[in-house]
Amino acid sequence: MTRIIADISVSLDGFVTGPDPGPDNGLGTGGEALHTWAFSEAPDDRRILREAAARSGAVILGRRLFDIVDGPNGWDETTGYGAREVGKPAFIVVTSSPPESVRLTDLDWTFVTTGLPDAIATARERAEAASSDSGKDLDAVLMGGGATIRSALAAGLVDELTLHLAPVVLGAGTPLFTGGAPRTLVQRSVISTSTVTHLTYDVL
């Protein structure tokens, strides 16, 4: 069964970027430390990244994150989705204004202008179609940014939350959580490596 999974790296003080993120500084000042684990050679880090890429039938992202990954300093053959475990699922971008062109033309982009619930519904459909084609269950993954994941959680659209808790205090940046209604999580797994603690929760 296709699940909606929010998957993001976060600092100990709850930020998903450092200060002053932007198209030329996507993770903000010091934010690269959040993703050290994705380039680690630790066996558990490699396995978790490989498994996450393999289960992704579709990926949802917000427009700000799209502008970063498709920008001139964005993804390339070594830093695409899944890093060295490169997969090419469908990418669904929630935006009020689709771009006139994309740089990463080898990826499958769909731009949804009717809101986050419709973007997630589209991603679920694409993931279910990919599941049927591959013969294995694939998920729709919310990769960010922080506001997109926060909105999806608040709207009750997320089945599972995976946090990669990096051992860094950024002090400022883009927060993952900014208040809102309480939400119950059920811890499924905790895996600690030398670079990060991988936390997985069911969202009730």
* Cβ atoms of residues 62 and 150 within 8 Å: no
Amino acid at the residue 155 = A
Predicted local confidence at residue 83, as pLDDT: 44
Predicted local confidence at residue 10, as pLDDT: 98
Site of tokens 């950024």? 170
- Picking from 114, 78, 120, 111, the residue whose alpha carbon sits closest to that of residue 93 is 111
In the sheet with 197-203, reading across from the earlier edge strand, the strands are 108-112, 90-94, 56-62, 139-144, 4-11, 160-166, 197-203, 185-192
- Picking from 92, 151, 150, 159, the residue whose alpha carbon sits closest to that of residue 126 is 92
Give me the tens of pLDDT residue by residue for the chain, a chain 204 residues long.
899 999 999 999 999 999 998 888 889 999 999 999 998 999 999 999 989 988 999 999 999 999 999 988 888 877 777 544 445 799 999 999 999 999 988 889 999 999 999 999 999 999 999 999 999 999 999 999 999 999 999 999 999 999 999 999 999 999 999 988 888 899 999 999 999 999 999 998
Predicted local confidence at residue 88, as pLDDT: 78
What would the two tokens of residue 10 be? 């976060």
Tell me how far apart the alpha carbons of residues 132 and 138 are, in angstroms, rounded to a whole number: 9
Helix axes 116-134, 146-154, angle to 10 degrees: 90
Predicted local confidence at residue 87, as pLDDT: 55
Amino acid at the residue 97 = S
What would the two tokens of residue 159 be? 């089945």
Instruction: Report CA-CA distances (Å) from 36 to 67, 90, 118, 152.
Output: 22, 25, 33, 26
Tell me how far apart the alpha carbons of residues 79 and 92 are, in angstroms, rounded to a whole number: 19
Site of tokens 């204004």? 97
Give the chain's end-to-end CA distance (angstroms, integer): 17
Amino acid at the residue 101 = S
What would the two tokens of residue 28 be? 């903000």
Domains and their CATH numbers in the chain: 4-203 (3.40.430.10)
Amino acid at the residue 161 = L
